[in-house]
Amino acid sequence: MSKAPIGVELVKRGLVTESDINEAISYQKEHPEKKLGDILNILNLCPQRELIKAMGEILGEKVMILRPDNVQVDMTQYFSMDIAKSCKAVLFEIVGGKAKVCFADTSNKRAIEQIRLILLNKGLVLDKYLTFETNIENTLEALEGKEGDEIRADAGDITGLVDMIIKSAIEKRASDIHIEPMENMVRVRFRIDGELVTIANIEKSKQSQIIGRLKAISNMHQEKQESQDGRIIIYPDYNIRVSSQKNIYGEKFVLRMLKKNSGIRNIFDLGFPKSEQLLKASFDKRNSITIVAAPTGEGKTTTLYSILDYLNKPEINVTTVEDPVEIRVPGINQIEIDAKTSFANSLRTILRQDPDIILVGEIRDLETAEIAMQAGQTGHYVLSTIHTIDSVEVITRLRKIGISDYDISSTLATSVSQRLVRRVCPHCATKRPFTSEEKEIMQKLVEPYGIKLDFKNKYTFDVNGCKECNHTGYYGRIAAFEVLEITEDLKELIANGASSIKVKEKALKNGVYKPLFIDAIGKILDGITVLEEVNKKLLLF
């Protein structure tokens, strides 16, 4: 990667100026081991995405901006960390016999040949990519951190090991811990901001002891190997739900980390559009039901509690029925489902307790749905969740459960759909202007809905990765929302058996509905998240 051709070509393309190149060359005199492209990236003299794309075109290489969460394989099964460091290379994916490897310097033929031969001996063909040296360094640091966790995990007794895994999950803000028996090891993964991250690989000989310890502290039967549910309550601030499931290599455990007294977040802080008018129109209801729809793990319960917090007043009787109660709220009557009760049975009892607002954790079956609908028709306001892809498909889902068109049209007041997208890490993200390609993609997406995006004074970010964000480039999540208000003309359509497509068309025409991705794009323009993350979640293009 010689200085002149790259520098001259980048200037020709208008990506940098001559003064930028001179600044980079001055930096290179003090850091002679650095390539010009890497220096331009380090000094933030050119948008990272445009720079790597141009370098790929100039050098005739495939390129990518590598991050730790791109790594889909255990690289150390193919070559050591020492070789990765010396060759400045990261194996990130294997597809159809091809091993995809990122290099910091594709002109280093010796390094490339070394990696090629190693992979060839394992029956794989090298598929090389170019990335920035800092990306290689950050990714290797993150992967090495995982190895460090593994070394610590293999030390000490089993009680200390399990305790260390749980405390590490708490420290890293994990929502779930996966302890998975594999053929030759026990893999430990944490779900952080919705993504599974491998934390440790523990030697197979400790598997039975780990399982025994988990069963002991979660009050499970030691001798049983079929599926069980338990709970760990020995950590003061956490109520940890435990689920076991037998697989071909042993028993897998998933620990759901529920923080006690975590408090209810304001609905606007969750990402709901900042409009008091929309909030009031969506949730300040009586004699009806509001349903929050999303797949598992997308924050439906958190949104329900934020709505409750908005509605709750001393003169209102609020009762919830949940499985389990995840957030305990003073002043609200909360009922937890157990083996002897069901949503439907608890709902029948609740209706004799003079409630104003009823929260049903989830509509799972016809019996629960019918009672919830009846409650909404007899003076109560019901809040619940359902598993479906968007707010319009709530209607289809209720129909499939067995609810009549009349009951849906007369009772459903609002349906809300949401997805959680990761926020860019404030500690390591690099601010930059939107590329012309990004602007074009987003504008094309919103054009059919009569929206013109304004990119003036708007910026996005390149995500990099640091210790604060576990080298992912993201820290925390925010919800993108879509709201469908069931107006009188929509009620008529539903009552007449109109399809969800017809309902959506009418809602769009009336302006009471906008697809979820429009709210997500607004959050991109606000610099909260980035197009790559939204596309990963919503598959927009």
324-346 burial, b if ≥16 CB within 10 A, otherwise e? ebbbebeebebbebeeeebbbeb
Tokens 């499970």 belong to 220
Cα separation, 359 vs 346, whole angstroms: 11
For residues 424 and 524, the answer to whether their CB atoms sit within 8 Å is: no
Cα separation, 41 vs 57, whole angstroms: 17
Cα separation, 47 vs 41, whole angstroms: 8
Greatest extent of the chain over all pairs of C-alpha atoms, in Å = 82
Dihedral sign, Cα of residue 395, residue 401, residue 405, residue 409: negative
For residues 165 and 153, the answer to whether their CB atoms sit within 8 Å is: yes
Q: Give the DSSP letter of residue 447.
A: G
**Structure tokens that stand for 534 in this block:** 């939204």
How far, in Å, are 74, 209, 401, 531 from residue 177 at the CA level? Answer: 19, 17, 33, 28
The answer to pTM > 0.85 is no
Nearest to 139 by CA among 103, 115, 185, 96: 103
For residues 227 and 245, the answer to whether their CB atoms sit within 8 Å is: yes
Cα separation, 239 vs 232, whole angstroms: 6
Cα separation, 428 vs 430, whole angstroms: 6
Cα separation, 346 vs 321, whole angstroms: 7
Query: pLDDT 10s per residue in the chain (541 long)?
Result: 444 478 888 999 898 999 999 999 999 998 888 889 999 989 989 888 899 999 999 999 999 999 888 898 888 888 878 789 989 999 999 998 899 999 999 999 999 999 998 899 888 999 999 999 999 998 988 887 654 454 354 445 899 899 999 999 998 899 999 999 998 889 999 999 998 888 888 989 999 999 999 999 999 998 888 899 999 999 988 889 999 999 999 999 999 998 876 678 899 999 999 889 899 988 988 889 999 999 988 999 899 999 998 998 888 999 999 887 877 787 889 998 877 778 888 888 898 889 999 999 899 999 999 999 999 998 899 999 999 999 999 999 999 999 999 999 999 999 999 999 999 999 988 899 998 999 999 999 999 999 999 999 999 998 877 878 877 889 999 999 999 999 999 999 999 999 999 999 999 999 889 999 999 999 999 999 999 899 989 988 8
For residues 199 and 219, the answer to whether their CB atoms sit within 8 Å is: no
Structural domains of the chain sorted by starting position, each given as residue range(s) with its CATH number in brackets: 3-134 (3.30.300.160), 154-259 (3.30.450.90), 276-419+477-517 (3.40.50.300)
Tallying the residues shown for the chain, one arrives at 541
Residue 507 φ then ψ, to 5°: -65, -40
As separate numbers, helices (DSSP H) first and strands (DSSP E) second, the chain gives 20, 18
Q: Pairing mode, if any, of strands 430-433 and 459-462?
A: antiparallel
Which regions of 448-532 does DSSP assign to beta strands (E)?
459-462, 474-485
For residues 24 and 45, the answer to whether their CB atoms sit within 8 Å is: yes
For residues 335 and 319, the answer to whether their CB atoms sit within 8 Å is: yes
Burial class of 123 by CB neighbour count within 10 A (0 to 12, 13 to 18, 19+) = exposed
Tokens 């895994």 belong to 165
Residues contacting residue 511 through CB under 8 Å, at least 6 positions apart: none
State whether residue 271 is helix, strand or coil. coil
For residues 239 and 260, the answer to whether their CB atoms sit within 8 Å is: yes
Burial class of 156 by CB neighbour count within 10 A (0 to 12, 13 to 18, 19+) = exposed
